[in-house]
Chains A and B, each alone.
Chain A
């Protein structure tokens, strides 16, 4: 079946602009995660959804970052007033959110470059 998809694959923007990154999880996966990965680093947790609600948003670095998942499927990560330090690969993952099946399936990522 189809895996997790993310669009766009690459996004170049100018400092101060607004960007939206989209994630399509595996069908039926109720848990969805956003991570940020800089070169040579591990995935840095941003936010985790269970269904439509954010179960843990403690990783969002500041109020310029916001994410939604209005229908419990597709999610959008929104970044306002982008800064050069926001440049990274943004990874989305989904999982079945059940007691024994916790494997997170990652998307290919969106490489964000803020000039």
Chain B
């Protein structure tokens, strides 16, 4: 089955610095890769996603890059702010042609120090 591995498990940065979180997946047929943010005591919410027909996608301070050959994708947060502190999860589908059947990574706890 699909394995989604996420690194690092914790990440601490100074406000204004960049943060990078990486995920690897095992099924080369996977073609949809979302990132979710979960603040303490709240539900996970989608922040950005990428499909396999592009290598990078940006949304203001957030970007996701995809390397299909190496089967990994990364979340990049630039100019980090204290409100970026949360747990971030990547996910990947495990079924060909079915992007609904997803598995999540174990999460990265990001702390942005003011």
Binding site for B on A (CB under 8 A): 31, 33, 35, 40-45, 48, 50, 55-56, 58, 91, 95, 97, 99, 102-104, 106-109
Residues of B near A33 (CB, < 8 A) are 100, 102
- Report yes or no: B45 in contact with A45, Cβ–Cβ below 8 A: no
**Docked-complex contact B102 and A104, CB < 8 angstroms:** yes
The secondary structure that dominates the B interface is strand
* Option from B43, B45, B107 in Cβ contact (under 8 Å) with A42: B107
Contact of A31 with B100 at beta-carbon distance under 8 Å, contacts A58-B1, A91-B43, A102-B32 already known: yes
* B residues whose Cβ falls under 8 Å from a Cβ of A: 1, 6, 32, 34, 42-46, 49, 89, 93, 95, 98-107, 109
Q: Is the CB of A42 within 8 A of B104?
A: yes
* B43→A107 contact, CB < 8 A: yes
- Give the docked Cα–Cα distance between A44 and B104 (Å): 7
**A43–B46 contact, CB under 8 A?**
no
The interface residues of chain B lying within 8 Å CB-to-CB of A40 are 107, 109
Q: How far is the CB of A29 from chain B (nearest CB, A)?
A: 10
Which residues in A have their C-beta under 8 angstroms from that of B99?
99, 102
Instruction: Pull 9 A–B residue pairs with CB atoms less than 8 Å apart, ordered by A.
Output: A33-B100, A41-B107, A42-B104, A44-B104, A48-B100, A91-B44, A102-B99, A103-B49, A104-B46
Are A103 and B104 in contact (CB-based, < 8 A)? no
The answer to whether B101 and A106 touch across the interface, beta carbons within 8 angstroms, is no
In this complex, which of B49, B100, B102 has the most chain A Cβ atoms within 10 angstroms of its Cβ? B100
Closest 8 CB pairs of A and B: A106-B43, A42-B104, A102-B99, A42-B107, A42-B106, A43-B104, A103-B46, A31-B100
